Amino acid sequence: MNTTYLLAAVDLVAVLVLALAVYYPRHRRTDLVTAFVAVNVGVLAVTIVLAGSAASVGLGLGLFGVLSIIRLRSDELGQHEIAYYFAALAIGLLGGLGTADVRLSISLMVGLVVVLALVDSRLLHATGLRQVVVLDSAVTDEGELVVRLERLLDAKVNRVTPLRVDLVNDTTTVEVHYAVAPRPAVPRAERHAAPAVTR
């Protein structure tokens, strides 16, 4: 079989596994599944065409950079979504440009999928969680935010990032990273001292 067709087939299988079997079951965003597959197929098609050019590697890397800038500026993405996005781009480049050793190209594509499946698994994120919380009061002191969030979530807050303080409606929107661990139960009265709406 022609190596171009072989690498293209492996690329399509790899990106479908990445998007449908690894990303979607964990994050449930169909719009990004479409984006990952479309970007991968587009990069694959363009790099196959450029593979015969003397400047194929430079053009491929330039395409990688341009697409990255356009995509990252067009919408707000989480860090894990950026990781999947770059993996889809990298797999497309490997499938289109390839290497002198076909087995190396295939191994690298498979390796990207496996690495992302492992680092985005519950093995690393069993206790580390992220959530956006809307408190029903305007709080500007970070220490007070941490105390209130720990009472609300009954967990240890590792990092808190204020996203919006609305003095008119008396609300505070924060992004909180916290770790769930066995801890003494917080009294119910204290737990409800800082009511909030989460999303």
What are the pLDDT digits (tens) for 7-20? 999 999 999 999 99
| Tokens, residue 29 | 């965003």
Answer whether 51's CB lies under 8 Å from 97's CB.
Answer: yes
pLDDT of residue 14: 97
C-beta of residue 148 within 8 angstroms of C-beta of residue 182:
no
Read off the pLDDT of each residue in 94-106 and give the average, rounded to a whole number: 87
Q: How far out from the chain centre does Cα 51 lie?
A: 29
* pTM (global) more than 0.95: no
Range of 26-35, 53-62, 104-113, 149-158 with top mean pLDDT: 104-113
| Distance set, CA 31 to CA 77, 88, 191 (Å) | 12, 14, 36
The C-alpha atoms of residue 23 and residue 189 are separated, in whole angstroms, by: 39
Give, rounded to a whole angstrom, the gap between the first and last alpha carbons of the chain.
50
Q: How much is the pLDDT for 40?
A: 93
Average pLDDT of the segment spanning 159-165: 87
pLDDT for the residue 157: 87
35: nearest Cα among 5, 72, 6, 65: 72
| CA atoms of 43 and 8, how far apart (whole Å) | 11
Residue 172 near residue 165, CB atoms below 8 Å? yes
Does residue 141 or residue 125 have the better pLDDT? 141
pLDDT at 180 over 80: no
Rg of the chain on CA atoms, in Å: 22
**Domain ranges, ordered by start, for the chain:** 3-124, 127-198
Rounded Cα gap, residues 86 and 127, in angstroms? 26
Contact of 147 with 135, CB cutoff 8 Å = no
Phi first, then psi: give them for residue 76, nearest 5 degrees.
-85, 125
In degrees to the nearest 10, what's the CA dihedral of 186, 187, 193, 197? Answer: 60
As a residue count, the chain comes to 199
Per-residue pLDDT at 188: 54
Q: How confident is the model at residue 50 (pLDDT cuts 50, 70, 90)?
A: confident
pLDDT > 90: what percent of the chain? 29
pLDDT-derived band at 64, boundaries 50, 70, 90: low
Between 59 and 143, whose confidence is greater?
Answer: 143
